[in-house]
Amino acid sequence: MECNRVIGSRAAVLLLASIACVTLAGCSSGDNSHVSGVVTFDGNPAPKSVLTFVSLDRGPGGTAITDENGRYEAQMSLNNDWLAPGNYRVEIQGRADHLKADGLMSEIKPGDLSFPKKYHGKNSELRLTAEPGSTTVNFDLTSN
């Protein structure tokens, strides 16, 4: 009787592992979109800007932080892979110097945001369509 339980447990583990492998194989990064570009504010590069990509297709979202030249590369939030193809609302909510060591934003006071409200949170009208392969999207933000 004990032997049947062990065999049954091993079979269940193998079945679950097989399902996980098949599921993950269908989500290869080859199907995803390498989204990159430059963020400027009033014509100047916007370094250390935090971009959040909110999926409008109910898939996982993504994030990016611009470098000193305003360049970014979006990554999927769940596994640091490229974004899944689809439509996204892009929120540009502040500067990376508000990030804590664990990657979460520290408390931000209303005056700390370096961009107008029209670019962050649900107010953002910035949109991006990520296609399989490479997608380049620049964001030219203005103060008015």
**pLDDT tens digits, one per residue of 90-122:** 999 776 655 555 555 555 554 455 788 899 889
Confidence check: pLDDT of 142 > 50: yes
Q: Token pair 């963020």 is at which residue?
A: 39
Taking every pair of C-alpha atoms in the chain, what is the biggest distance, in angstroms?
Answer: 75
Q: 20 or 51, which is more confident?
A: 51
pTM for the model: 0.68
* Cα separation, 143 vs 42, whole angstroms: 6
pLDDT at 136 over 70: yes
3-state class (DSSP) for residue 16: helix
3 state SS of 120: coil
**Which percentage of the chain shows pLDDT scores above 70?**
64
- Average pLDDT score over the chain: 76
Residue for token digits 């990509």? Answer: 53
Cα gap 2→89, rounded to integer Å = 55
Residue 22 has pLDDT above 90, yes or no: no
CA pair distance 51, 76, nearest whole angstrom: 12
Instruction: Write down the pLDDT at residue 121.
Output: 87
Tell me how far apart the alpha carbons of residues 130 and 53 are, in angstroms, rounded to a whole number: 10
Quickly count helices (H) and strands (E) in the chain.
1, 10
Specify whether the CB–CB gap between 51 and 91 falls below 8 A.
yes
Residue that wins the pLDDT comparison between 67 and 97 = 67
pLDDT-based confidence at 89, cuts 50/70/90?
A: very high
78 is written with which tokens? 């769940």
Spell 100-118 as b/e; 16+ CB within 10 A means b.
eeeeeeeeeeeeebbbeee
**Higher per-residue pLDDT: 15 or 118:** 118
pLDDT at 59: 85
